[in-house]
Chain A
């Protein structure tokens, strides 16, 4: 699995956009980039994934660098409920070997 580097923590204000970076310089050509988040005392939940093109869904946007060695998860208007640990996970998918979670980024939202 590709090694990832994420900031340990980030802080943002409510109702402002948040950009969460992830470096994955050893990513393989077939790896999708997945983002999960974990709210306090809960199991992880899927946020978004992508391969090469930028992706949008109701929760967030994912911007992927042209060389695919980094990506950025964008929360367009953070709410207090977005306070969580965010994990960036490159994975080829379709396999049975689970996901490799690093320590992620602890996102703190100030009211």
Chain B
């Protein structure tokens, strides 16, 4: 299994531009998450999904949108990029039926907005 894959690895955006961060997992996990990590800080939850067609907001959802049309894919959309969205973005997944859950993280996308 490849696990959780994310593309691109790096991206520079100008203010006001849009982009989609891709996330795919091949473990048939139902739960998927998007986090962001600012320098020197822990991760903050942006959005999560408990299965195809179901998404919900996390702690910091403003400026982002998500969709979940398949179990495997959970893209994160930035519509109007702002410098405050400069961060490293991590996608994660976990099996649905774990009472305690081990989250599997992707390698991250480093985004700079200038």
Contact = CB atoms under 8 A, between A and B. Distances in A.
B50 A43 contact: no
A93 B35 contact: no
Q: Which of B40, B41, B90, B103 has the most CB of A within 10 A?
A: B103
A104 B48 CA distance: 23
Contact of A93 (B4, B43, B44, B99): B99
A32 B100 contact: yes
Interface string A46-65: 10010000000000000000
Interface string B22-60: 000000000101010100111111001010000010100
A34 B99 CA distance: 12
Interface residues of B, number: 28
A104 B102 contact: no
B75 interface: no
A43 B48 CA distance: 17
B36 to A, nearest CB: 11
B98 interface: yes
Contacts of B42: 87, 100-104
Contacts of A93: 98-101
Interface residues of A, number: 22
Given A46-B102, A103-B42, A98 B108 contact: no
Given A43-B106, A96-B48, A34 B92 contact: no
Given A42-B107, A96-B48, 11 more contacts: A32-B100, A43-B4, A43-B92, A93-B101, A94-B99, A94-B100, A94-B101, A97-B48, A97-B58, A100-B42, A104-B42
Interface of B: 4, 31, 33, 35, 37, 40-45, 48, 50, 56, 58, 90, 92, 98-108
24 contacts: A42-B107, A43-B4, A43-B90, A43-B92, A43-B106, A43-B107, A44-B43, A45-B105, A46-B102, A46-B104, A49-B100, A49-B102, A93-B98, A93-B99, A93-B100, A94-B98, A94-B99, A94-B101, A96-B50, A97-B45, A97-B48, A98-B45, A99-B103, A102-B42
